[in-house]
Amino acid sequence: MCYNRTSAFTSGGTPSTLYPEYSVPARPLLKWAGGKGQLLPALTRRLPARFKRYHEPFVGGGALFFHLWSSGRLGGGAVLSDFNPELVSCYEVARDQADDLIAYLTELRPHFSDKAFFYEIRAWDRQPDFAARSKLERAARMIFLNRTCYNGLFRLNNKGFFNAPFGYYKNPLIVDPENIRAVSRALQHVEFHVGDFGNVLERAEPGDMVYFDPPYVPVSATASFTHYTHQGFTEVEQRRLAELFFTLAERGCAVMLSNSQSPLVSALYAHAPTRDTVLASRKINCDGKKRGDVEELIVCGYELRQSHAMAPSS
């Protein structure tokens, strides 16, 4: 059954009271370096009042997407994409095979704190038959590694192999049936793509919303983390992203982006209608003394006071 996710607001009710699917909000399936969970209040305040389709070309943990779905704001549908094919495949499995995924992860329960087993599973992508493994196996592996590796860090080396070390957690949460099923419901009508972020230009239309959450520009020589894919994300890509941001804004899309408060980012988006600095806690620096609150930049391609003029949801 397909629900109109905006009718809850037009009829005076709330999503959770009108539709059972909203009784359990969907949370991110994966931990993700730089995840936007803590920035949701700041991002939500800067959303356009209304928009058509939602696009997120660097989906990562998808915190903003799941928040929008849980609050009934995706009546126009959503397109989620990423350059990482394993990530996209994992979401497709969660959408299409939620119960199988829960059963598979449950079988792994005895190994949640097993260091040797962790490295055995991690080594799968070094083996020639990795691509031949089922999508279900690879999705369960991704969740298992994500929840048991150091800091929940998804990191690939230059050969494209997962290389984050074992995390030494006492009781990691691997199997969360309630949330996996909520995630499955949230993803039912999502269109997925694997590819370059620039491909959003082929899909986004006037009145749509596009949220960019790219690998951040490092603010110091030791803070760099860009290897979600083995290609990394260089200054060339950051500049290309900025050009795309303004192209979509000129098209009539509501474009929002988050990145580090760095000289490069400040310069690239100096002429954006809205630029706000917010504080976020970051904990993935290998030097514990350098973890803590850092300044991040939220950029919008529209004036916040004019956001109510965006095309209505449908």
**The two structure tokens encoding residue 249:** 């804004």
Taking alpha carbons only, the member of 290, 233, 213, 172 closest to residue 38 is: 213
pLDDT in tens, the chain (314 residues): 333 333 332 333 344 444 455 568 999 999 887 667 789 999 999 999 999 999 999 999 999 999 999 999 999 999 999 999 999 999 999 999 999 999 999 999 888 889 999 999 999 999 999 999 999 999 999 999 999 998 888 888 888 899 999 998 878 888 999 999 999 999 999 999 999 999 999 999 999 999 999 998 886 544 444 444 445 689 999 999 999 999 999 999 999 999 999 999 999 999 999 999 998 876 544 444 445 678 899 999 999 864 444 444 44
Superfamily of domain 7-309 in the CATH hierarchy: Vaccinia Virus protein VP39 (3.40.50.150)
Angle at 76 between CA 244 and CA 56, to 5 degrees: 35
Instruction: In whole angstroms, give the CA distance from residue 75 to residue 83.
Output: 26
CB neighbourhood size of 182 (10 A): 23
CB neighbourhood size of 139 (10 A): 24
Instruction: In whole angstroms, give the CA distance from residue 313 to residue 7.
Output: 10
State the first-to-last Cα distance of the chain, in angstroms, to the nearest integer: 17
Instruction: In whole angstroms, give the CA distance from residue 259 to residue 128.
Output: 37
Taking alpha carbons only, the member of 268, 249, 260 closest to residue 209 is: 249
Listed by start position, the domains of the chain span: 7-309
Taking alpha carbons only, the member of 256, 254, 253 closest to residue 211 is: 256
Phi-psi region of 122 (alpha: psi -120 to 50; beta: other; left: phi over 0): alpha
What is the pTM for the complete model shown? 0.84
Instruction: In whole angstroms, give the CA distance from residue 247 to residue 252.
Output: 9
CA atoms within 13 A on the CB side of 222: 9
